[in-house]
Amino acid sequence: MSDQQRDNFTVLYEIAQRINQILDEEQLLEEVLETAMSHLDAERGYIVMANPADKRGFNVVVSKNFSTPKAADESAASSSVINEVFTSGKPVLTFDALSDERFEASRSIVAQQLMSIICVPLRIREMTTGAIYLDSSRSRGKFNDESLKFLAVFGNLAAVAVENAQRYDRLRSENDRLKSEVSSTNLFPGIIGKSKPWKGALDLVQRVVDTDVSVLITGESGTGKELIARAIHNQGRRRDAAFIAINCSAIPEQLLESELFGYKKGAFTGANSDKKGLIEFADGGTLFLDEIGDFPVALQAKLLRVLQEREIRRLGDVESRRVDVRIISATNKELRSEIKEGRFREDLYFRLNIVEIHLPALRDRSDDIPILANHFMKKAAETHGRGVRKLSSGCMSGLLKHPWYGNVRELQNVIERAVVLSRGDELTEDDLKLERYSEEELVQSGMTLEDFERKLVEKTLSETGGNRTRTAEKLGVSLRWLQYRLKEWGGDAK
Ligand SMILES: Nc1ncnc2c1ncn2[C@@H]1O[C@H](COP(=O)(O)OP(=O)(O)OP(=O)(O)O)[C@@H](O)[C@H]1O
Ligand SMILES: [Mg+2]
C-alpha cells in the first residue's frame, strides 16, 4: 500500500465516521461536497440527486464556487459528463475535456475550457441516486486514477449516508404526523366526532383554547355547546381555576343580578352580610353564560362593564373590584334578530362574540352518528350493567334516517333507553322506539288549510331548533308574517 493509498484510506475512515452522524440531508450533502473538494483540491463542484419530477431525471442540490447556483444547474443540464455517469452508473475521469471523444458534442465543456473533470455516481443497490461532480480548470491533469478510486469509494459511503438521512427524515415526518394525529384525537377526551363540519368546529376550538378571547358558542339545542365550553376551560391555561356556569334563562332577573355581582351587607332587605358574586368566584377562571340570549336587557350594561373594564361592583357597594375572567357564552337563539327586536345590546354582542364557534346540527354531520351511537351504547351498557355489545344494521339505518331535531342529546337518550330496555346483546331498530316524523302525519284528511299551515310552521320551527329567522327563510315567508302568525296562535308554537 502506497502512502497516498494509506492516506486515502485513513481519510475515508474519518469521513465515514463523520458523515454517518449527520442526519439532515442538505447539511450532509454540503459536507460531502466540501470533503470531496478539499481532499482532491478541486476548483468547483456540485452534487445532483435523482428527481423523477425533473425532465432530466436529476437536479443540482448543492454547489460550490459556481458564479450562481443556476450556473451549476446549467452546467448540469448540458453536462454530458453527468448524463454519462447517471446513465452508465460508472465513474468518469477525463484529463482533457477538450479532446475526450465521449464528450465531443458537448459545447459547454469547450466553452468553459475545462481541463480536468471527475464525476462519480452515488449508488444504492444498483441504482444511481445521485452524482458528485468536481472540476478544475487551473492545472491540466490534476485528477488521477487514485483520485478516481478515492472518489468512487467515497461516493459509495456518501450514498449510504444520504439514504440513511432520507430514511431518518421520512421516519421523523411520519412520527410528527402520528403525534399530531394522537394529540388531535386525545386533546378533547370524551368528545366524539370526525366528520368534516365537526372537525372544523374543533379546529376553531383548538385555536382559541390558549387565548383569553370571548367565545360565543352557537348551535341548536343538544349540539354540545356546554361540552365544548367546558373543554375550552379544561384544556386552556385557566384549567386550574374555577369554571362557573350560569344558565341565564333559569334564574329570575333580580336574583341573577345579586348572584352574578354579589352584594354588600344592607344593600337590600335580607342582605345580612356581604356576599361575593359568581363573577368574583370565577376570578382567574372561566365564566360560562349559558342561554345568553335570555340575559335580561336591564343587566346587559352591567355585564358589558365587566367585559370592558374588567371590574365589577357588588350591589350597594361604592368600590369596584378587579376581576380576571374569561367569558364563554352560548345560545341557540339567533342573537342578530334579538338585537333587531331590541332585546339584546349590539355592543354587548360584539364583546361576547370575538370568536363564534358554531356547532353543526347532528343531521348535518350524520357521518358521526355511528361512532356517537357506539360510544353512547358502550357507556350506557356499562352504567346500567347491560350486556349490549353492538347495534344491528337495521338499528344503524334507523339511526341514520332519523332527523334528530334534539341533536346529540336526543341520540344519547334514545340509545340509553334502548340499552336499558334491551334483552339481548344487540340493539335492534325496534329497541330504539324512534318517533316517526312522516309526511302522512303532516297531512291528514279533514285538516283545514290553517291546521296544515300551523303544523308545517311547528315542524319547521322544531327542525331549526326554534330559530324564527331560519324558519321564515325555509318557508319562504317574511319574519313579520311568521311572528304575526305565532302571536295569533297563542305566542310560542312549540
Ligand atoms: N361530540 C360529542 N361527543 C360526545 N358527547 C356529546 C357530543 N356532543 C354532545 N354530547 C353530549 O350530548 C349532551 C348534550 O350536550 P350539551 O349539553 O353540551 O348541549 P347544548 O348544546 O349545551 O344543549 P342546550 O342548548 O340544550 O343546552 C351532553 O350529554 C353531551 O355530553
Ligand atoms: Mg346547554
pLDDT in tens, 40-94: 888 888 999 988 888 778 888 899 988 776 676 666 544 678 888 888 889 988 7
Cβ–ligand 1 distance for 277 under 6 Å, the answer no
Which ligand 1 atom minimizes the distance to the CA of 224? 18
Give the closest residue (by CA) to ligand 1 atom 24: 221
Question: Do 313 and 367 fall into the same domain?
Answer: no
* Ligand 2 centroid, distance to 8 Cα (angstroms): 76
Determine which of 97-111, 187-201, 243-257, 330-344 has the lowest per-residue pLDDT on average. 97-111
Question: Do 260 and 285 fall into the same domain?
Answer: yes
What are all long-range contacts of 333-338, with beta carbons under 8 Å and residues at least 24 apart? 333/291, 333/293, 333/294, 333/466, 333/467, 334/467, 334/468, 334/469, 334/470, 335/216, 335/218, 335/292, 335/293, 336/469, 337/468, 337/469, 337/479, 338/293
* Ligand 1 centroid, distance to 490 Cα (angstroms): 31
- 428: domain CATH number? 1.10.8.60
pLDDT at 77: 43
Give how many domains the chain has, as a whole number. Answer: 4
pLDDT-based confidence at 494, cuts 50/70/90? very low
pLDDT at 440: 54
Question: Do 147 and 36 fall into the same domain?
Answer: yes
CA angle 233/234/238 to nearest 5° reads 60
Tell me which ligand sits closest to the C-alpha of residue 293.
1
Q: What is the mean pLDDT of the chain?
A: 86
Which ligand 1 atom minimizes the distance to the CA of 221? 25
> Is residue 177 assigned to a domain?
no
Share above pLDDT 90 across residues of the chain, in percent, rounded to a whole number: 46
Share above pLDDT 70 across residues of the chain, in percent, rounded to a whole number: 88
Cβ–ligand 1 distance for 331 under 6 Å, the answer no
> Is residue 175 assigned to a domain?
no
Residue 175, pLDDT > 50, answer: yes
pLDDT in tens, 340-382: 999 999 999 999 999 999 999 999 999 999 999 999 999 999 9
Cβ–ligand 1 distance for 465 under 6 Å, the answer no
Question: Do 56 and 76 fall into the same domain?
Answer: yes
pLDDT at 493: 40
Question: Do 21 and 153 fall into the same domain?
Answer: yes
What does pTM read for this prediction?
Answer: 0.59
pLDDT in tens, 239-277: 999 999 999 988 888 899 999 999 999 888 888 999 999
Question: Do 104 and 252 fall into the same domain?
Answer: no
pLDDT at 446: 75
pLDDT at 313: 94
How are the residues of the chain apportioned to helix, strand and coil, as percentages rounded to the nearest 5?
50, 15, 35
Question: Do 298 and 213 fall into the same domain?
Answer: yes
pLDDT in tens, 119-158: 999 998 888 999 999 988 765 557 888 889 999 999 988 9
- 454: domain CATH number? 1.10.10
Give the closest residue (by CA) to ligand 1 atom 13: 409
Q: Which residues, other chains included, contact 416 with Cβ-Cβ below 8 Å and sequence gap of 6+?
A: 376, 380, 384
Question: Do 405 and 299 fall into the same domain?
Answer: no
pLDDT at 195: 93
Expressed as residue numbers, the domain containing 312 is 196-358
Residue 111, pLDDT > 60, answer: no
Question: Do 272 and 409 fall into the same domain?
Answer: no
Domain end call among 133, 154, 170? 170
Domain end call among 358, 383, 409? 358
> Is residue 189 assigned to a domain?
no
